[in-house]
């Protein structure tokens, strides 16, 4: 099992319950592909570095999880087409 972190930037113009649903859907995807969530870090609303789809702000979430090496590819393929996800990035965390 490798350690990964999924960073998700969610649309700031949607309601809070919709935002929570997007994050829950990301967590469900991780568990669906055999991952174990270790931590969910909510950074809240932040200013984006540049305008994306005419939006200047987004909600940042960082989901730390452990999974097999094939899981991140499957998770990214699903997150890519999710509504209200502006940007995402899944990275492997090195053992330190």
Which pTM does this prediction carry? Answer: 0.90
CA–CA separation, 21 and 10 (whole Å): 11
Number of domains in the chain: 1
Does residue 96 carry a pLDDT above 90?
no
Q: What is the pLDDT of residues 5-17, one digit of tens each?
A: 999 999 999 999 9
Q: What is the pLDDT of residues 32-82, one digit of tens each?
A: 999 999 999 999 999 999 999 899 999 999 999 999 999 999 999 999 999
Whether 53 is in a domain gets the answer no
Give me the half-sphere count of Cα atoms (radius 13 Å) on the Cβ side of residue 9: 17
For residues 19-25, give the mean pLDDT: 94
Using pLDDT thresholds of 50, 70 and 90, give the confidence band for residue 86: very high
Whether 11 is in a domain gets the answer no
Whether 44 is in a domain gets the answer no
DSSP bridge pairs for 67: 2
- The number of beta carbons lying within 10 Å of the beta carbon of residue 64 is 16
């Amino acid at each position: 099992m490798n350690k990964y972190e999924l960073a998700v930037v969610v649309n700031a113009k949607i309601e809070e319950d919709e935002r929570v649903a997007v994050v829950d859907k990301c967590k469900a995807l991780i568990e669906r592909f055999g991952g174990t969530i270790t931590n969910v870090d909510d950074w809240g609303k932040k200013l984006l570095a540049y305008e994306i789809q005419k939006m200047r702000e987004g909600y940042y979430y960082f989901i730390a999880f452990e999974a097999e090496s094939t899981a991140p590819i499957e998770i990214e393929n699903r997150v890519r087409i999710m509504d209200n996800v502006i940007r995402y990035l899944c990275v492997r965390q090195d053992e330190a």
